[in-house]
Amino acid sequence: MEKRRDEWEKTLEIKDLVIHYTSDSETVYAVNGIDMEISKGKTLGLVGETGAGKTTTALSILNLIPEPSGKIISGEVKVKGKDVLQMGTQELRSLRGDQVAMIFQDPMTSLNPIKSVGEQIAEGIKIHQKADKKTAMKRAREMLELVGIPGSRANEFPHQFSGGMKQRVVIAMALACSPDLLIADEATTALDVTIQAQVLKLINQLKEKYNTSMLIITHDLGIVAEVCDNVSIMYAGRIVEHGTLEDIFDHLYHPYTKGLFDSLPDINNRHEELKPIKGLIPDPTNLPSGCPFHPRCNYAKECCRKEPPGRKWVSDTHYICCHLYDDTDENQL
Ligand code: SF4
């Protein structure tokens, strides 16, 4: 028997997911065996540099890996216990927008320039909640109010709004059908700092109001600190460190995570030079052997070049993939 919605503990479960893109001449090893879980009402931050495989992971949750070049080689992606990769057309339609909504960096990729914002928000409500036109428009105006835009502006077109307001419209669209999972892919990157703070505050308020689970994809640790409960650090298609916000911010261990934090400016020491991680993220068509971070790692040893490190648990909530850590040594941290 199918469980009721509130009985689901995990909104999202990803197990051992592997995704490649292939062309005649090469294979891009985009996602290389990741696990991920988001419980109801919780927010996971997926952090890493451009090209780490974050967006590909997000697209797999909506079963939107572009074919024929993209292929899910193995693994499982479950939303509320149902395997997304086995869903038929009808189930996928209900999944996209109804259960899972995604916000992208550029709001114009989601907005139609020749339709009023009210109509665009109402459209999803009509389809997914089977509401009539009048009810859907009323709800669209309410959603605009919720994101801090007067409902009276529902008849205006996207070009009449500023960048920050357009992104709020997209958030209103994404939340109009009360999705179980909201994915925000660098959703505030293009906004200026003040608007970014407003949008993050809004995301936090909406999370509390609707108990929505969220996946926040970002390269910005400041955003993670604002909105996330748990954090996964991704490098070359793998999760290299995962823990609660406190685990990652107060007891981080992986050399790559350390590098990400060291490359942030220190507000208390403005004269100190930034320490960017040396080198570049590896070419995903030709990943280094062993630990893919070894060419950039100051702690690399011989075994790092040969053996990919397995998962080692630091605590019940915190794991890393690194040869440096010995989980049999209790005094190590
Ligand atoms: Fe560095 Fe080795 Fe750890 Fe990789 S496994 S992060 S190369 S110490």
Q: What is the pLDDT of residue 5?
A: 45
pLDDT tier, 4 (very low <50, low <70, confident <90, very high otherwise): very low
Helix (H) or strand (E) holding 121: helix 117-129
Distance CA 107, CA 124 (A): 16
Query: Which residue would you say has higher pLDDT here, 242 or 192?
Result: 242
Q: What is the pLDDT of residue 85?
A: 94
**Residue 300: CB within 6 Å of ligand 1?**
yes
Q: What is the pLDDT of residue 332?
A: 56
Three-state secondary structure call for residue 328: coil
Q: CA separation (Å) from 64 to 67, 72, 95, 106, 137? A: 8, 10, 11, 18, 29
Residue 241 forms beta bridges with which residues? Answer: 233, 320
**Residue 323: CB within 6 Å of ligand 1?**
yes
Distance CA 235, CA 161 (A): 36
Atom of ligand 1 nearest to the CA of 256: 6
Helix (H) or strand (E) holding 223: helix 221-227
Mutation to probe ligand 1, out of 297, 311, 321 (largest number of atoms < 8 A from CB): 297
**CA 3, 175, 79 angle in degrees (round to 5)?**
30
Examine the pLDDT at 260 and tell me if it is beyond 90: yes
Average pLDDT over residues 90-115: 88
Mutation to probe ligand 1, out of 253, 281, 324 (largest number of atoms < 8 A from CB): 324
Contacts of 71 (CB under 8 A, 6+ apart): 19, 20, 21, 22, 65
Mutation to probe ligand 1, out of 260, 287, 291 (largest number of atoms < 8 A from CB): 291
pTM of the model: 0.89
Q: Which of 143, 134, 215 is nearest to 176 (CA)?
A: 143
The beta strands (E) that lie in 146-244 are given as 181-185, 213-218, 230-235, 238-244
Q: What is the pLDDT of residue 97?
A: 74
What's the token pair of residue 330?
A: 């209790």
Query: Which residue would you say has higher pLDDT here, 163 or 8?
Result: 163
